[in-house]
């Protein structure tokens, strides 16, 4: 703190031209060794730098995993809705090492979609679709088809 105040005052005095030129230049200049500038020994400084690099690598790895997870979501949605594939997403997944897990929310969505698809493919699912149809329209179509078939049969067969 004292260093900052001293440097500010000395700079102002120098700007005014009132002297201040008799000070030692060694105190104002930063030391050549960054460890001394940080107030640490050389070994402490090297350990600190290693720790910073390791933390940065961990953050980068976590960020890459998140990006790959998002890419998996996009790929899944593209497959589901039959959209064109993106090479960027595939590249992000490969950079993450191809061991990217789907987020839990997406896994639940996929499972729900699969259950719905299985239900639609089953006979019970088809019956439920029939219940949703307009029965009057179906009845009219069936009667019209039956009368057409009956008329065609009568024209071709003299027994009926």
For 76-135, the pLDDT digits (tens) are: 888 888 899 989 988 888 888 767 777 787 788 878 887 777 766 666 666 666 666 666
What CA–CA distances, in Å, run from 89 to 13, 76, 148? 60, 11, 57
pLDDT confidence of 156, banded at 50, 70, 90? confident
Enter the tokens of residue 76. 């899944």
């Amino acid at each position: 703190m004292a260093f900052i105040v001293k440097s500010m005052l000395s700079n102002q005095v120098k700007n005014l031209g009132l002297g201040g030129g008799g000070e030692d230049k060694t105190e104002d200049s930063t030391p050549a060794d960054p460890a001394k500038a940080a107030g640490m020994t050389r070994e402490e400084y090297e350990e600190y730098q290693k720790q910073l690099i390791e933390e940065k690598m961990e953050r980068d790895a976590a960020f890459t995993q998140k990006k790959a997870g998002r890419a998996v979501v996009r790929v899944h949605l593209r497959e589901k809705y039959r959209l064109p594939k993106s090479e960027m997403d595939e590249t992000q997944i490969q950079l993450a090492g191809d061991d990217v897990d789907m987020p839990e929310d997406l896994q639940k969505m996929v499972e729900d979609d699969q259950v719905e698809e299985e239900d639609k493919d089953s006979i019970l699912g088809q019956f439920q679709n029939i219940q949703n149809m307009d029965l009057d329209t179906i009845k009219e179509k069936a009667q019209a088809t039956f009368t057409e078939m009956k008329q065609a049969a009568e024209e071709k067969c003299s027994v009926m």
